[in-house]
Amino acid sequence: MRIAVLSETEGAETRVAATPETVKKYKGLGADVVVQAGAGTKAGITDAELDASGAVIAPSREETLRDADIILKVRRPADGELTGAKPGALLISIMDPYGQDAALKNLAAAQVAAFAMELMPRITRAQVMDVLSSQANLAGYRAVVDATAEYGRAMPMMMTAAGTVPAARVFVMGAGVAGLQAIATARRLGAVVTATDVRPAAKEQVESLGAKFVAVEDEEFKQAETAGGYAKEMSAEYQAKQAALVASHIAKQDIVITTALIPGRPAPKLVSRAMVESMKPGSVIVDLAVERGGNCELAQPGQVVEHNGVKIVGHLNMPGRLAATASSLYAKNLYAFVETLVDKESKALSVKWDDELVKATCLTRDGAVVHPAFQPKA
């Protein structure tokens, strides 16, 4: 069994799909691991470290792919990147499959069985494979660090001989994994933190971290969560009421961090131009949904822009701004999944195609798109 780890070709991508720790674990499963030269450089992992852990360093993509049974990446391969891959090889990465019909068709044409890690079901046995949580956790932390760097004042209240410095006021929009970590981080830095979310269960979680919950808590709010724990899209009436409450609250904030995403949909617009203009000069907005169109109307992907003295931070790939930690967690997520695809006794690949984890994540197989949610439109 041969596992290939490819370099990332996406410019903003700094993460890598394997670390010296997981290479050793793959060796323990009986696999030979081949890593493309330089794959870990941006994450602070040298070829020498990977070599010392038992990996073979291949000088080119073609040599890395040759005869590989499993191909590991962070992001979905670009068109043509899998040229030379063995038919039937398993490709495992973050696939970003929504609205990507042509890309999925190309994966099917490459004759690989492609698995999307972000489609992993949220069940107990798959928690260790949950890439959305592992990466969002880091994004929430980094959002506060970046906001603090852009904000020209101290975060905690300080009592000095020269006078008292007030605590910064931080508002977190969306209390999922990223939002909760942002709340915890801002609280650790001494800020006064408030948060909002459309899911009723989030209120208790927000308050348990010492933040105040801000939301219109009507009947619709009480029903606003899917069985999978995701936020439902709210009615126009509710959105208007919530927007009015949020608008008055944002005007008093120093830092706003937006984290709202609904899988497969453009990011909901939560912060309008008028809301930005209501904030004090020197305030900061960090938009974690900028890759999906952004929660803030004025956010620009990959840029820090300024409007009326308010900085709007739109960094792409926020987990990748903590490349070493993000790679470590992502590589462990991948290993946990790969382990379920290998027979421990024969040390050979043995995919159980009816396993719920496989069925939930498998996008393409035998030259066709097989996932029911991504069937080509007639």
- The residue from 60, 67, 125, 127 that is catalytic is 127
98 catalytic per annotation: no
Q: What is the DSSP letter of 125?
A: G
On the question of pLDDT at 226 being above 70, the answer is: no
Bridge partner residues of 158 (DSSP): 165
pLDDT digits (tens, 9 = 90+) for 96-144: 999 899 999 999 999 999 999 999 999 999 999 999 999 999 999 999 9
230 catalytic per annotation: yes
What pLDDT is stored for residue 229 in this prediction?
64
pLDDT band at 243 (very low <50, low <70, confident <90, very high): confident
Work out the angle between the directed axes of helices 323-340 and 20-28 (0-180°, nearest 10): 10
Q: Measured between alpha carbons, how far is 340 from 335 in angstroms, rounded to an integer?
A: 9
pLDDT digits (tens, 9 = 90+) for 314-331: 999 999 999 999 999 999
What pLDDT is stored for residue 48 in this prediction?
98
CB distance 170 to 186 below 8 Å: yes
Half-sphere exposure at residue 360, Cβ-oriented, CA atoms within 13 angstroms: 14
- The residue from 15, 26, 76, 130 that is catalytic is 130
Sheet holding 255-258, edge to edge: 212-213, 192-196, 169-173, 255-258, 284-287, 310-313, 304-307
- The residue from 7, 93, 133, 135 that is catalytic is 133
CB distance 74 to 8 below 8 Å: yes
pLDDT band at 200 (very low <50, low <70, confident <90, very high): confident
When mean pLDDT is compared across 174-183, 192-201, 351-360, the lowest value belongs to 192-201
Those residues with Cβ within 8 angstroms of residue 245's Cβ, 6 or more apart along the chain or in another chain? 214, 215, 216
CB distance 216 to 241 below 8 Å: yes
What pLDDT is stored for residue 350 in this prediction?
95
2 catalytic per annotation: no
- The residue from 218, 230, 350, 375 that is catalytic is 230
Bridge partner residues of 172 (DSSP): 195, 257
pLDDT digits (tens, 9 = 90+) for 13-66: 999 999 999 999 999 999 999 999 999 999 999 999 999 999 999 999 999 999
- The residue from 122, 125, 153, 265 that is catalytic is 122
Task: Share the mean pLDDT of the chain.
Answer: 94
What pLDDT is stored for residue 234 in this prediction?
79
On the question of pLDDT at 378 being above 70, the answer is: no
Task: Pull the structure tokens for residue 181.
Answer: 């970590």
Count the residues in the chain.
Answer: 378
pLDDT mean over 173-183: 97
Q: Which three-class secondary structure state does DSSP give residue 255?
A: strand
Rg over alpha carbons for the chain, rounded to the nearest Å, is 22
127 catalytic per annotation: yes
Those residues with Cβ within 8 angstroms of residue 152's Cβ, 6 or more apart along the chain or in another chain? 282
